[in-house]
DNA sequence: TTGTAGGCGTTATCAT
DNA sequence: ATGATAACGCCTACAA
């Protein structure tokens, strides 16, 4: 049987129209669920669509509608699991829609960063973009999006933008909880390993630490802080500095898990047992946190939920207003925290 | 000044044509680098393009050319770092082209897997798709791609398809190297933790193990093998089984790093010191391998290079023939291997 | 070397 | 409730 007139290629709206004896526009109405449509007509067309296995051409739609259905994901590889979890959440939000997710890794240290992102937006003309930390903290990128008329949502450790353009976590507060947890376990001398200078996540976490230390009246002092940059090696070095001090802290909060793993190594090199002689708390709940020894207490962002919400803000303007912009992180207690040695 | 005639919206090919006093077609030729073009004309048009900031609309191009410039990445989250490294490699290959990378996570255990992938291909009509293990091992997916006329390249632990559709690693061989390395260090009783049944990577790694054990005349026997499924927990359980046997192996090869980390825990629970009393080798070189204690000897796929090559096979048919399909993995020696206790 | 006419598959406008 | 016609922005065929 003649499936389509021109036997080659995928069936088009014309094939459907001809075979169901209606006009293209009517088929288009069926596709787009126009309310003013005779039920009989609709069913007839839907049947032909099913028989033919017709699927609308997204490029043609994009051209006619003057907007496409691609969501861009811009990131500079914060950590692999975060990016993947985020992708999962976005996919969850756009499942069974015509949207697709286009990834765009960038290099935040490249001088061409803005040009790179501009080129991406101009070339692909995404429906909107989602921006992950740490590049999300760069206001110039948001400004570029606005100039190009590209909608965007940023993910970050604090409110960097209007709620419509943000999904944020409460880093400051949750780090406070982590410090409280350590204090309740008996620690009064707690060290901090900070994140890299210029990262909002780093300053938020440090602020949460400082506020909690002050609030709880814990030991304070510059010798209890060491600068890190979110890498394992920096955690190793910073941990060494903290652990070689006298008196040394009985607990350390590292601003991410990689650095916490570095601290763990530093402790082991010195024969300091965790958690007996040193308690340790990380941040991110990466795979490493659960799989090192001892399993590490850490903080987890609800990344999938944040991603889902971020995608909805972009895709579904009506639902967007209902979406929260603040998401609460959780402290995940594991075995790296114990009362300090007597 | 009048930037474009209809002041609204992005400039189109018509704007460029009008302002440079040539026809659309000529502009089109400039865009597409047609060789038969007067130099003067070309420069004039290029200047107008630059002034206007004109960027061709990819949707319109896609429609006219009857193919778009999206590359699909289909995966079932093997491990986060692998996916991200792969994305990086692909982006590297398509940098400064009009291609973009669309990610499509799938659930290999879902009964709707094939339907899901079909829907993706029919809806997005990608230029081609890249498929990561373990879903890449599913021949039905490749068959679906072929039926839908969608080009594809699979990544895997062995040759699953024609070279044009494959980038593969030499798992079997490199596991052999790993076992040789252990044997040269003095081990003769080596345990294996296998990957999940039905995974080609698992069978390849096991085959490499078996072949090496036979070739080197090492201890063999069912009690030296334990079934895992690539998770930390399965490594913990399988490691327990191996370590509770008498005599116990002096070294264990785990078919991935997560399981190796589990073995490390199992050893620690039993007071067995690594590497003094037990040597350990993993596979994948995930972040955890380098950051646990002791840093773990493991095997690394050249994922970025594989991804780059896979993308080129898809995108650049001329260069595709030059692309290798076999990529050699490396053994990364760290501190988890030492001579067996005397 | 360049231009004209027509088409890619869809949607919007304005009829009927 | 449905249809004819004209976009959308680009490319191919053919003509000049």
Residue-level pLDDT, tens digit, chain B, 342 residues: 333 344 456 889 999 998 988 988 899 999 988 887 888 888 889 999 999 999 999 889 999 998 889 999 999 998 999 999 999 999 999 998 889 999 999 999 999 999 999 999 998 999 999 999 999 999 999 999 999 999 999 999 999 999 999 999 999 999 999 999 999 999 999 999 999 999 999 999 999 999 999 999 999 999 999 999 999 999 999 999 999 999 999 999 999 999 999 999 999 999 999 999 999 999 999 999 999 999 999 999 999 999 999 999 999 878 888 999 999 999 999 999 999 987
Identity of the residue in B84, B232, B264 whose CB atom sits nearest the CB atom of A77: B84
Cβ-in-10-Å burial (0-12, 13-18, 19+) of A8 comes to exposed
User: Cα–chain-centroid distance for residue B40?
Assistant: 46
CB pairs under 8 A between A and B: 124
Is B77 within 8 Å of A84 when comparing Cβ atoms?
A: yes
Q: Which nucleotides of C are covered by protein (CB under 7 A)?
A: 1-13
According to DSSP, the residues that pair with A100 across neighbouring strands are A70
For A119-163, give the DSSP string.
HHHHHH--SEEEE-TTGGG-HHHHHHHHHTT-EEEEEESS--S-G
* Closest nucleotide to B34, Cα to C1': C1
The integer distance in angstroms from the CA atom of B246 to the C1' atom of D14 is 84
A34 CB and strand C closer than 7 A: no
- Under the banding of pLDDT at 50, 70 and 90, the label for residue A318 is confident
Q: Is the CB of A98 under 7 A from strand C?
A: no
**Candidates B61, B92, B93, B100, partner chain A, best to mutate (most A CBs within 10 A):** B100
Residue B84 to residue A88, Cβ atoms within 8 A:
no
Q: Spell out which residues of chain B touch residue A261, defining contact as CB-CB under 8 Å.
A: 291-292
CA-based nearest distance B278→chain A, Å: 16
Helix residue spans in chain B (DSSP H): 13-20, 24-31, 39-52, 58-65, 80-94, 113-124, 139-147, 171-184, 200-216, 232-243, 257-269, 287-291, 303-315, 317-320
Interchain CB distance below 8 Å, B123 and A98: yes
Nucleotide nearest to B62 (CA to C1'): D10
Cβ-nearest to A80 among B80, B98, B264: B80
Interface residues of B toward A, Cβ cutoff 8 Å, are: 9, 53, 55, 57-60, 62-63, 66, 68, 70, 77, 80-81, 83-84, 87-88, 91, 98, 100-105, 122-125, 232, 258, 261-262, 264-265, 268, 286-288, 290-293
Question: Quick one: average pLDDT of A230-243?
Answer: 97
**Res. A4 pLDDT band, cuts 50 70 90:** very low
Distance between CA B222 and CA B194 in Å, rounded?
12
Q: Is the CB of A13 under 7 A from strand C?
A: yes
| Nucleotide nearest B66 (Cα, C1') | C8
- CB of B38 under 7 A from strand C? yes
Tens of pLDDT, residue by residue over A157-205, are 999 999 999 999 999 999 999 999 999 999 999 999 999 999 999 999 9
Query: Which residues surround strand D, with CB < 7 Å?
Result: A 21-26, 29, 36-38, 40-42, 60, 63-64, 66; B 9-10, 12-14, 24-25, 28, 31-32, 54, 56-57, 60-61, 63-65
**Structural domains of chain A sorted by starting position, each given as residue range(s) with its CATH number in brackets:** 64-169+303-328 (3.40.50.2300), 171-302 (3.40.50.2300)
- Distance, in Å, from the CA atom of B123 to the CA atom of A99, rounded to the nearest integer, reads 9
Residue nearest to nucleotide C8 (CA to C1'): B64
Tell me whether residues A63 and B60 touch, CB distance under 8 A: yes
The predicted structure's pLDDT at residue B117: 96
Q: Which nucleotide is nearest to A63 (CA to C1')?
A: D8
Residues B101 and B73 sit within 8 Å (Cβ to Cβ):
yes
| Nearest residue, CB atoms, A59 vs list B59, B232, B288 | B59
Contact flag, residue B8 CB and nucleic strand C, below 7 A:
no
- Report the DSSP beta bridge partners of residue A327: A169
What b-and-e string marks burial along A69-107, b requiring 16 or more CB atoms within 10 Å of the CB? Answer: bbbbbbbbbbbbbbbbbbbbbbbebbeeeebbbbbbbbe
**Strands A151-156 and A128-131: what pairing?**
parallel
- Report the distance from CA of residue B51 to the C1' of nucleotide D5 in Å, as an integer: 35
| Least confident piece of the model among A6-15, A49-58, A280-289 | A6-15
Structure tokens belonging to residue A14: 């014309």
Nearest alpha carbon to residue B305 among B205, B171, B168: B168
Percentage of chain A lying above the pLDDT 90 cut = 85
d(CA B308, CA A171): 37
pLDDT at A221 > cutoff 90:
yes
**Smallest CA–CA separation between A245 and chain B, in Å?**
23
Token pair in block for residue B248: 């116990």
Substitution target from A59, A107, A126 for chain B, most B beta carbons within 10 A: A59
Q: Any atom of strand C under 7 A from CB of B41? A: yes
Between the CA of B147 and the C1' of D9, what is the distance in angstroms?
31
- Residue labelled with tokens 């039993």: B270
Distance B43 CA to C7 C1' (A): 29
Q: What are phi and psi of B186, to 5 degrees?
A: 115, 0
């Amino acid at each position: 049987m003649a499936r389509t007139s021109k036997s080659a290629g995928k069936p088009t709206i014309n094939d459907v129209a001809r075979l169901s004896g209606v006009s293209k526009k009517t088929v288009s109405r069926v596709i787009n669920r126009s309310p003013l449509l005779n039920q009989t007509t609709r069913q007839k067309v839907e049947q032909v669509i099913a028989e033919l296995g017709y699927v609308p051409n997204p490029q043609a739609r994009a051209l006619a509608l003057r907007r496409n259905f691609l969501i861009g994901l811009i990131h500079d590889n914060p950590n692999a699991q975060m990016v993947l979890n985020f992708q999962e959440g976005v996919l969850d939000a756009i499942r069974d829609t015509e949207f697709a997710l286009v990834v765009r890794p960038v290099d935040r240290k490249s001088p061409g960063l803005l040009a790179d992102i501009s080129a991406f937006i101009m070339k692909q003309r995404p429906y909107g973009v989602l921006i992950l930390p740490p590049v999300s903290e760069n206001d110039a990128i948001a400004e570029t999006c606005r100039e190009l008329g590209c909608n965007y949502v940023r993910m970050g450790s604090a409110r960097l933008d209007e709620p419509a353009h943000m999904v944020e976590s409460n880093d400051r507060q949750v780090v406070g909880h982590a410090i409280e947890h350590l204090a309740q376990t008996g620690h009064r001398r707690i060290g901090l390993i900070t994140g890299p200078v210029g990262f909002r996540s780093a300053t938020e976490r440090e602020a949460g630490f400082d506020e909690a230390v002050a609030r709880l009246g814990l030991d304070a002092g510059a010798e209890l802080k060491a600068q890190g940059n979110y890498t394992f090696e920096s955690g190793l070095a910073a941990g060494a500095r903290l652990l070689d001090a006298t008196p040394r802290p009985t607990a350390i909060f590292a601003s991410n898990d990689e650095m916490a793993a570095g601290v763990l190594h530093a402790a082991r090199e010195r024969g300091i047992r965790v958690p007996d002689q040193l308690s340790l708390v990380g941040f991110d709940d990466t795979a490493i946190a659960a799989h090192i020894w001892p399993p590490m207490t850490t903080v987890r962002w609800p990344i999938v939920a944040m991603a889902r919400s971020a995608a909805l803000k972009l895709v579904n303007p009506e639902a967007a207003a209902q979406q929260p912009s603040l998401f609460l992180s959780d402290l995940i207690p594991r075995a790296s925290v114990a009362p300090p040695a007597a």
